[in-house]
Amino acid sequence: MKEKRKTLKREPFKLLGHTIAPGKTVRLTLEVAKLHTNTPIQIPVIVSHSNKTGPTLLLLAGLHGDEINGIETVRQIIKKGWHKPNYGTVICIPVFNIFGFLNLSREFPDGRDLNRVFPGTKNGSLASQFAYIFMKEIAPLTDVIIDFHTGASQRNNYPQTRCDFRDKESKELCKIFAAPFTIDSAVIAKSIRNSVSKLGKKYILFEGGKANRIDNFAVQTAIDGTLRVMHHLGMRYFDVEAPEEEGHIIRRTKWIRASSSGVLNLRVKNGNYVEKGSILAIISDPYGKFERSVKSPTNGFIFNVNEMPLVNKGDAIFNIGKRDAKAIPSVEMKAEN
């Protein structure tokens, strides 16, 4: 989007009861609840409002408090000043679930997953109140949202973006983001993606790495993708070329589950292409009595790996994806619906 555009008089940007003048970057505070000590929980919201008209982009991380890669991604973008656009406005929320972040936990203190309570209620659970404030005060002001996540627990996600391929604009933004994998993913009820999509917002879900770890490759992939999207939206020029290897479009996915309990010894690297019948892992008991091979039920790409050394029967251990929309047969393993 390099064509010249007519410069319009820029109006102030209003958020959380504050007015941000054109050309200013400010740090606001979102307060929803307090700790048991009556200490208020303050969620920093960094807003950069340029002098020139353009879209509003939200960079959101820490929806799950133990997903550190997204937090590090937004932190680096702010540290290097890349969140300051020449056109439009950028809102950064590096840590949304501050309770989970303080406790290295995915959930809120009430045990709820914030990403399953949207759009929230004013007087509901603590997580529901956070969702409600976000949907009332922040989401309506945005045009595009990039939401950064990781795999839960010991599940390691190879860097990927997800969207509903029926949403052509979001799919195009995922293509611009250019992660190694772009996955056709149905919208989950009561998720943030479901709620903001109903508002007509364009949304990119990024997944990379696993919880409570910083994966530099995943972080750099997320940063590069974000800068490409900002460049594409005409917000600021960034000389970030697309990866040399074109990313893979995944239209059908399935979990491969453990057929036995035991010690899991991986035989394949995350992100690899595998063929049907390939041995992905060995499950054994600690006493040398048995070994069971975990074989791929189809040709496809491994984009999520369970890195727990011990697994129980039925545990999801690999997520495999195919480019076409044909069903993936199940061989030896159970599939997740």
pLDDT of residue 72: 98
Dig out the tokens for 26 from the structure.
């400010």
Does the residue 336 lie in any domain? no
Does the residue 242 lie in any domain? no
Q: Band of the pLDDT at 336, cuts 50, 70, 90?
A: very low
Side-chain-side CA neighbours of residue 332 (13 Å): 17
Q: What mean pLDDT do residues 55-84 have?
A: 98
The domain boundary residue, chosen from 185, 200, 232: 232
Quick one: 206 and 278 in the same domain?
A: no
Quick one: 222 and 268 in the same domain?
A: no
Q: Band of the pLDDT at 7, cuts 50, 70, 90?
A: low
Is residue 150 pLDDT above 50, yes or no? yes
Please state which of the ranges 54-63, 123-132, 134-143, 267-276 shows the lowest mean pLDDT.
123-132
Quick one: 211 and 315 in the same domain?
A: no
Query: What is the C-alpha separation between 257 and 255, in angstroms, rounded?
Result: 6
Does the residue 98 lie in any domain? yes
Does the residue 94 lie in any domain? yes
Please state which of the ranges 44-58, 128-142, 320-334 shows the lowest mean pLDDT.
320-334
Quick one: 23 and 166 in the same domain?
A: yes
Dig out the tokens for 135 from the structure.
């949907």
Does the residue 334 lie in any domain? no
DSSP 8-state symbol, 140: G
Q: What mean pLDDT do residues 33-43 have?
A: 84
Q: How many domains does the chain have?
A: 2
Quick one: 227 and 262 in the same domain?
A: no
Is residue 169 pLDDT above 60, yes or no? yes
Q: Band of the pLDDT at 3, cuts 50, 70, 90?
A: very low
Q: What mean pLDDT do residues 162-174 have?
A: 94
Amino acid (1-letter code) at residue 257: R
pLDDT of residue 39: 81
Range of the domain at 214: 13-232
Is residue 335 pLDDT above 50, yes or no? no
The domain boundary residue, chosen from 174, 198, 232: 232
Average pLDDT, the chain: 92
Is residue 313 pLDDT above 70, yes or no? yes
Quick one: 45 and 189 in the same domain?
A: yes
pLDDT of residue 323: 87
**With a threshold of 0.85, does the pTM exceed it?**
yes
Is residue 125 pLDDT above 60, yes or no? yes
pLDDT of residue 245: 84
Quick one: 189 and 48 in the same domain?
A: yes
Q: How many CB atoms lie within 10 A of CB 165?
A: 17
Query: What is the C-alpha separation between 97 and 118, in angstroms, rounded?
Result: 14
Does the residue 239 lie in any domain? no
Is residue 328 pLDDT above 70, yes or no? no
Q: What mean pLDDT do residues 51-66 have?
A: 97
Q: What is the CATH number of the domain that holds 228?
A: 3.40.630.10
Is residue 114 pLDDT above 90, yes or no? yes
Is residue 59 pLDDT above 80, yes or no? yes
pLDDT of residue 332: 34
Please state which of the ranges 5-9, 163-167, 219-223, 251-255 shows the lowest mean pLDDT.
5-9
Q: What mean pLDDT do residues 15-35 have?
A: 93
Q: What is the CATH number of the domain that holds 283?
A: 2.40.50.100
Q: What mean pLDDT do residues 228-257 have?
A: 94
Dihedral angle at the C-alpha atoms of 74, 80, 86, 89, nearest 10 degrees? Answer: 30
Q: Where are the beta strands (DSSP E) in the chain?
A: 13-15, 18-20, 24-34, 40-49, 56-60, 89-93, 144-151, 155-163, 181-184, 202-210, 248-250, 252-257, 262-266, 273-274, 279-284, 291-295, 300-306, 310-311, 316-322
The domain boundary residue, chosen from 201, 232, 263: 232
Does the residue 330 lie in any domain? no
Does the residue 177 lie in any domain? yes
Query: What is the C-alpha separation between 261 and 292, in angstroms, rounded?
Result: 10
